[in-house]
Amino acid sequence: MEVQWVLVCHGMVTLTVVVSFLCGHSPVFKGTPIGWIHYFLTFGAWDYLLRFVEFVFGSKGTDAVLSVEGFCCDRPNPFLQIIYLLILGSTYFITVKSSFAYIPGYYIGEVHKYMSFGAVMIGVLLFLLTSFCDPGTVNAKNVSQYVSAYPYDDIIYSEKECPTCKIPKPARSKHCSICNRCVARFDHHCGWMNNCIGEKNTKYFMAFLLWHFLLCLYGAVAIGFILAGRVKELRIVHILTTYYGIKNSFRSLAPRVLQWLVGTYNTQILLLVFFALISLLLAGFFGYHLNLCLTNTTTNEKFKWREYTSLQKKISEAKASAAALKAGMSNTELERPAMSKWRGLWRRSEAKAESIVAKRNMYDKGNFQNISEIVFPLSSRQGFQKPYHKSE
């Protein structure tokens, strides 16, 4: 029973941490334990660590911690790449040692020993392609090509020069402070890849997310079949019904079978839960980035559009306040009963601004065309020097 409770607590804690980290920033969780955990994971833990180090070791200790942070987060380094390889290698090793002894089984064939190894190797290959492929570095030699391929929309992108590289800054590009280079169609800098995700390696990054989601899902299903096979081969249901007098129904048998599995195959259960949770996490990341690809938007542009929408909202609020004052309303009327009216107006203005953003994304040319630009980047096509124009 102790092992069972440990596994249950492990699963609940892991699920809570994953949900808090991914969703805790949402206004829905504001003031809730999920929101507090999210703040602690993203900001609070680091802040408390710095305070503790400063209390114990003084300013020199804080400087040492900040220097380590700078090395790990503010400049290229293979730290997270090594962590990824260690996680992948150790997880595969534990899976082999704990579960391959039951392959072939009642529901799973021996071929899965070799399929699993091949699947892991494909995952490593996609990792290497994403990590070491040029994301689309913009330099003095190719800047004119990128400027032609990606025109300015004069909303979130306008013609300007990169103050660091001293070259024209193409639309949809960004200067990465970590890599110290301008990257075309910049999405984000991925610490796990030690590389930027840009025009030329987004397809590998998407393939990496999708494949690792399928890999974890495959691991969870395969272990599930192994455990089901052990129940069948050892005739656990027959033993429970015949020798222990348990009623032959799902409601009566399921808790006992699960209890036996947890007590006998706890390592496999832990792996199954781990694979299931990571597959959900990767599914969320892949779904988010797939939506960006389908609308021909990047993570960087998502923030830019959010800033634009926020600015439009503030402008609408200012106009609404000015209109109220011009109508002769007193400050008291503005603060109390009339406020709901103007808030309604501001909400409508915000929704209108978001609608305008969707319509003004000149880079969105339909799902098929957007995906084709991911697979076949504009700068690699013949005749890409000819710019395309805004649609009316």
The dihedral formed by the CA atoms of 262, 263, 268 and 270, expressed in degrees to the nearest 10? 60
- Does 387 sit behind a cis peptide bond, omega within 30 degrees of 0 on the bond before it? no
Can you name the residues that pair with 181 across neighbouring β-strands? Answer: 176
Whose tokens are 């024209």? That residue is 168
Considering just the CA atoms, what is the radius of gyration of the chain in Å?
27
In 3D, which of 302, 284, 114 has the Cα closest to residue 209? 284
- For the beta carbon of residue 348, count every other beta carbon within 10 angstroms: 11
Can you name the residues that pair with 183 across neighbouring β-strands? Answer: 137, 174
Residue type at 282 in one-letter notation: L
CA atoms within 13 A of residue 116's CA, in its CB half-sphere: 24
Whose tokens are 């004052």? That residue is 325
Query: Has 190 been annotated as catalytic?
Result: yes
Can you name the residues that pair with 190 across neighbouring β-strands? Answer: 195
Quick check: 102 and 229 in contact, CB under 8 A? yes
Q: Which among 23, 133, 179, 190 is annotated as catalytic?
A: 190
Can you name the residues that pair with 168 across neighbouring β-strands? Answer: 161
Query: CA 159 from chain center: how many Å?
Result: 31
Residue type at 18 in one-letter notation: V
Q: In whole angstroms, what is the distance from residue 222 CA to residue 220 CA?
A: 6
Any idea which residues carry the catalytic annotation?
190
